[in-house]
Homo-oligomer: A and B are copies of this chain.
Amino acid sequence: MKMTEEMLSKHMQPITGSAIRDIFKLLAKPGMISFAGGNPSNSALEPDVVSEVAQSVLKKYGTTLLQYGGTEGFAPLRESTAEFLKTCGISAGAEEILPTQGSTQGLDLLLNAVIDPGDTVLVESPTFLGAIQCMRIRGANIVSIPTDEEGVIPEAAEELIRKHHPKIMYIIPTFQNPTGITLSARRRPALAELANRYGVILAEDDPYRDLRYEGEALPAIKQFDEDGWVVYLSSYSKLISPGMRVGSAVVSNPALLRKMVIGKQSQDVHSPLLTQAIVDEYLRRGLLPPHIRRICADYKAQLDAMLDSFRDFPAGTVHTAPQGGLFVWAALPEGYDAQALLPACVEKNVAYVPGVHFYPEGGHENTLRLNFSNAPAPQIRQGMRALAEAIKEG
């Protein structure tokens, strides 16, 4: 007998992931300037360093890296990540650190540990589309919190907490994906206070924190946590390599951490030890701070080129001007449809992600997300010119 769609689980049947997939297929076109992804620049990646570090850790740890490891993660990486996070103002013990396959896995394990179908998750409006997909697969009821130029509005969050009794509030506080907006200093303790007062887990997803090109670093929301309600998710993807899939979750509540570990055990048993050991060695040798300084200098030039290029856009276009991260968010004048314009832009060898995909409820057709990390400044200027032309012609 033939297999039909009915064989698939009810919770996965509506999840298609196709819109973004189709956009990413277009990027293979030769000559394409992509503002669509979230990739680091190739020049920020160091295969020679990774090769040398790989040799070094395989010599140091031998068969240990090739045997089964603990689901809780490679012990030296838990320690070095705890040290690294101290530089971000987060004082967590190694036993609170769960190495994950990028911060995506941290979020998914948290959802699994906490969310049953129908439970509510509050998110920023707009928010990371990958997170929306994780939440949909887990059956979460997603409710958007209004935001402004200072990030999520605590008073609005409180009202929604009282109304919906969410189990999780998902926040990307620094150089947010997709907007590039940073949650202001005064709102950070306010959100931690809400999480602790109402008993809502605040998932603080902070992979862009160290990509700051100007201004002063702000304290993490986690720094204001009192009873372990803030789970801090971070990633080495944007700092060392996304292809290695190493991130971490800081989970201060042992019972919650335990359920996340059990979930991970059933998903992949543990993360590969070789990639964990490479990142650990990278941290221990002190390679990260100078590397971050180097890539930030490049990314700043690319961001400046992008911001400068908006002058060619239709009058009335507004856009964010982030102090770091990988993304700028733009709203074309009302009436423009970024989704409908995309094919014409791709025709001119330039791509982006239409903003509609970052809103759980859809809409906002005039918005788009632009990534500036994946192309050098001259290409960014060229791509932005092509984009402005296509939009005006469209």
Contact A58 B68, beta carbon cutoff 8 Å: no
Contact A227 B45, beta carbon cutoff 8 Å: no
Residues of chain A from 209 to 238 with CB closer than 8 A to chain B in the complex: 227-229
A40: Cβ under 8 A from any B Cβ: yes
Closest beta carbon of chain B to A108's beta carbon, Å = 5
Closest beta carbon of chain B to A367's beta carbon, Å = 23
Interface contacts beyond A9-B112, A245-B272: sample of 19 additional A-B pairs, CB < 8 Å, sorted by A: A1-B196, A2-B227, A3-B199, A3-B228, A8-B113, A12-B112, A16-B262, A38-B68, A45-B67, A47-B66, A54-B55, A66-B241, A67-B241, A101-B269, A101-B272, A133-B265, A137-B262, A245-B270, A274-B278
Chain B residues, Cβ within 8 Å of A68: 37-39, 242-243
Contact A104 B266, beta carbon cutoff 8 Å: yes
16 contacts between A and B (CB under 8 A): A3-B227, A5-B255, A9-B113, A11-B116, A12-B262, A15-B262, A17-B262, A47-B61, A50-B58, A51-B54, A66-B242, A101-B269, A137-B263, A243-B273, A245-B268, A274-B274
User: Which 6 pairs show the lowest CB-CB distances between chains A and B?
Assistant: A101-B268, A66-B241, A51-B58, A45-B66, A243-B273, A45-B63
A275: Cβ under 8 A from any B Cβ: yes
Chain B residues, Cβ within 8 Å of A9: 112-116, 119, 259
CA distance in complex: A272, B274 (Å):
10
Contact A244 B58, beta carbon cutoff 8 Å: no
Chain B residues, Cβ within 8 Å of A320: none
The contact of A272 among B59, B227, B272, by CB within 8 Å, is B272
A102: Cβ under 8 A from any B Cβ: yes
Chain B residue nearest to A115 (CB atoms) is: B9
Chain B residues, Cβ within 8 Å of A102: 268-269
A382: Cβ under 8 A from any B Cβ: no
Contact B243 A69, beta carbon cutoff 8 Å: yes
What number of copies of this chain does the assembly contain?
Answer: 2
The range of chain A's interface size is 35 or more
Contact A244 B11, beta carbon cutoff 8 Å: no
- Describe A's contact surface by its main secondary structure: helix
A341: Cβ under 8 A from any B Cβ: no
A105: Cβ under 8 A from any B Cβ: yes
Contact B268 A116, beta carbon cutoff 8 Å: no
The contact of A40 among B50, B67, B267, by CB within 8 Å, is B67
Fill in one digit per residue for A88-129: 1 if any B CB lies within 8 Å of its CB, else 0: 000000000000011011001000111110010000000000
Chain B residues, Cβ within 8 Å of A39: 67-68
CA distance in complex: A55, B47 (Å):
9
Contact B268 A105, beta carbon cutoff 8 Å: yes
Chain B residues, Cβ within 8 Å of A259: 8-9, 12, 15
Residues of A within 8 A of B (CB): 1-3, 5, 7-12, 15-17, 37-40, 42, 45-48, 50-51, 54-55, 58-59, 61-69, 101-102, 104-105, 108, 112-116, 119, 130, 133-134, 137, 167, 196-199, 201, 227-229, 241-245, 253, 255-256, 259, 262-263, 265-275, 278
CA distance in complex: A59, B102 (Å):
24
Contact B55 A42, beta carbon cutoff 8 Å: no
CA distance in complex: A104, B263 (Å):
12
Contact A265 B5, beta carbon cutoff 8 Å: no
CA distance in complex: A67, B54 (Å):
17
CA distance in complex: A130, B262 (Å):
11
CA distance in complex: A196, B227 (Å):
53
CA distance in complex: A278, B274 (Å):
11
Chain B residues, Cβ within 8 Å of A201: 7
CB within 8 Å for A7 and B50 given contacts A12-B262, A268-B104, A268-B105: no
